Structure formats: structure tokens, C-alpha cells
Amino acid sequence: QHRCQHVSFGLVQGMKTRRGEVIFLEDVLDEVRSRMLQNMTSIKTTKEVQDPVETAEKVGLAALIIQDFRGLLSSGYQFSWDRALQSRGDTGVFLQYTHARLHSLEQMHGNAELTDVNVACLQEPDAISVLQHLLRYDEVLYRSSQDLQPKHIVSYLLTLSHLAAVAHKTLPVKGSAPDVAQARLCLFHAARSVLANGMKLLGITPVTQM
């Protein structure tokens, strides 16, 4: 506890809940859960989620945390529910969606132990982009630890998610030669692992379904 340090933060403007102008944390958490649940129920796949309310809460919290941590903590910003809860773009919802998709990919292929992986199979530019980005993780953690600003981690995770989403489309595991499939699976596992680790550092619980 003696190592804790207070970091000053700016003013959040425009955060209204349906209950009115005065904002309490409980109101915000209720609101984000309710809005996220509404968004999820409009998507066909949500019925497969085991606990929609709990998932909505975790995804909604991710949306709030990412919107809050995207810039300098000391800078104020204009809050927008619509922007925060978008499933595309630089949002916490997109991070959770990417994590869930990568987890689903691993599950689909039996979550097998990846041994004797031939990384030389990862020749495509989209694979190289993910690998190069993964190598920057230590540097980003160090930077955030030095200036106590989470924005470096947020930016890193958002870029990782975009790169992984592209690779997920262009580098299929199913139907590929066994050594290529193993290497790609290993790449996606590494991306998901770093994504989960970074999210937890920001206080976000990664979801496996949404």
C-alpha cells in the first residue's frame, strides 16, 4: 500500500444516466449493464451466452474503463454512451469481442497443447504484424509504469485487437496444412494471452463469450 500513488484526473462531461443529472457510480454501473444487455439481445449469438447479465456487466465495464483511460488521466473529456458501447472501433467492447473470438477459435480446435510449433510457417504480412506488435508489450508496460498513464496500454491493446482481427480473417486455421494450422493457432493464442493480460492490468475481466 505504501507504493500506491495518487494520479490526478480530469473532469468527465456529459455523463447522464436515465435517472438524471447527479451521477452516482451505482447509477452508472446499472446503466451500462442495462444498455449493454439491450445491445447484446439484439445480436443473434447472445442466446448462447451462459450468463448474459454478468457478461453485459463485464463488457460494459470494459467500455467505461477504455473510454476513461484512452487519453491523459489529467485531461477532461466528453462522455458518450453511444461511442463507448460501439462494438467496432477503439472501444472496450471491441477488445472483449476480439478476446471472445480468439478464445472461441482455440476452443474450436480442441485447446490442444501447442508443442513443436514451426514458427517459420508464419510468413504472411498479417502474421508478421501481429508478431512484431507482441514484441512491443514489455516496452509499453515499462512506459506506463514510468509515467503512470494507462493510455499506452490501452492504445497497444486496441492496435493488437485490430491486427488480430485482420489476421483472423486472412489466416485460417481450419483447412490449412497441419504445421501451418499449429503455427497460426499458436499466434492467435499468444495474441489472446497478451490481450487478456493487458485487460486485467486495466481492471477489465476478459469474457470468453458475447
Question: 12-202, superfamily in CATH?
Answer: Isoleucyl-tRNA Synthetase; Domain 1 (1.10.730.10)
CA 57, chain centre distance (Å) = 14
pTM (2 d.p.): 0.88
- Residue 199: which of 137, 118, 124, 129 has the closest Cα? 137
At residue 155, the pLDDT reads: 98
DSSP H/E element including 17: none
Tell me how long the chain is: 210
Give the residue ranges of the chain where pLDDT is below 70: 1-2, 15-23, 43-47, 111-114
CA distances from 52 to 24, 34, 73, 87 (A): 24, 11, 31, 16
At residue 75, the pLDDT reads: 86
CB 100 within 8 A of CB 164: no
DSSP H/E element including 77: strand 77-78
At residue 111, the pLDDT reads: 62
At residue 49, the pLDDT reads: 80
Backbone angles phi, psi at 13, to 5 degrees: -105, 150
At residue 50, the pLDDT reads: 81
- Residue 91, judged by CB atoms within 10 A of its CB (0-12, 13-18, 19+), counts as buried
At residue 17, the pLDDT reads: 58
- The residue with cell 502474421 is 127
At residue 199, the pLDDT reads: 98
- The residue with cell 486496441 is 158
